[in-house]
Amino acid sequence: MPIIAPSILAANFGNLNAEIEMVNHSEADWLHVDVMDGVFVPNISFGQSIVKKMASLSTKIVDVHLMIVDPDRYIKEFSDAGAHNISVHYEACNHLHRTLQVIKECGAKAGVAINPHTNVELLSDVLEDIDLVILMSVNPGFGGQKFINHTLVKIQRLKQMIVERNLQTLIEIDGGVGLQNAEIILRAGADVLVAGSSVFHSDNPIETVRKFKALSSKPSFQA
């Protein structure tokens, strides 16, 4: 079964309690939380205090995606706020290996997100240290964008690297994921699907999550 992570960025912020309750009652596995600083990406979302509140309301694994420059400054604060997974951007880290150790020392799972233009091979020398890789399938900053098809090739390549080394690293796909393309993404080798608009803007979000969960997560290829 795929891991499904509804992205709270697409929720109604005027009713966050109810939106998180809905996720709690659904078959979702993780709650994806996008933190944007207006510098690394051209949008600002929310900071530690809101994340702390959301984490306290959530019964799911809190999956924090930091789209911020110099993420090292805030890792401890987001961990204290209740993040179970903390992902930083490859493009925002000068000392990625050290950053990953800092995340783990906090007790969180360490993730690395890469932008659409960043080659998966660049993770080769730190792959053993990464618990999850977020492949951005849109340019980060906004929800509701169109899935970039080239991501499928990147998923296959990354899966191959992970299988060849016998690692447990999860591949998470973020941006433009819906029921119409989820199957092909899973067949390419994805383990986790982030779903913002496709869940929160659907007529029946709980049912939409159920449909995502019912999809086969078997990759169609073996390395």
Question: Hey, what amino acid is at 54?
Answer: M
User: Which listed residue (37, 131, 174, 191) is catalytic?
Assistant: 174
Q: Could you say whether residue 194 binds ligand DX5 (CB under 6 A)?
A: yes
Distance CA 221, CA 157 (A): 11
- Candidate segments 30-38, 77-85, 158-166, 183-191, binder of Zn ion by CB under 5 A: 30-38
Q: Is 174 among the residues known to form the active site?
A: yes
Q: Could you say whether residue 205 binds ligand DX5 (CB under 6 A)?
A: no
CA angle 119, 5, 97 (to 5 degrees): 40
Tokens linked to 27: 């078959």
| Shortest separation between residue 10's beta carbon and ligand DX5, angstroms | 5
| Shortest separation between residue 65's beta carbon and ligand DX5, angstroms | 5
The residue within the footprint of Zn ion, chosen from 65, 89, 159, 187 (CB under 5 A), is 65
User: Which listed residue (34, 37, 131, 191) is catalytic?
Assistant: 34
Site string for ligand DX5, 71-110 (x = CB under 6 A): ----------------------------------------
| Shortest separation between residue 84's beta carbon and ligand DX5, angstroms | 16
Q: Is 34 among the residues known to form the active site?
A: yes
Q: Could you say whether residue 196 binds ligand DX5 (CB under 6 A)?
A: yes
The contacts of residue 133 (CB under 8 Å, 6+ apart) are: 111, 112, 113, 114, 120, 123, 158, 169, 170, 171, 172
Q: Which residue is nearest to Zn ion (CB)?
A: 65
Q: Could you say whether residue 51 binds ligand DX5 (CB under 6 A)?
A: no
Q: Report, as residue numbers or ranges, the catalytic residues.
A: 34, 174
Please give the residue ranges that form the binding site for ligand DX5 (CB under 6 A).
Answer: 7, 9-10, 32, 34, 65, 138, 140-145, 174-177, 194-198
Please give the residue ranges that form the binding site for Zn ion (CB under 5 A).
Answer: 34, 65, 174
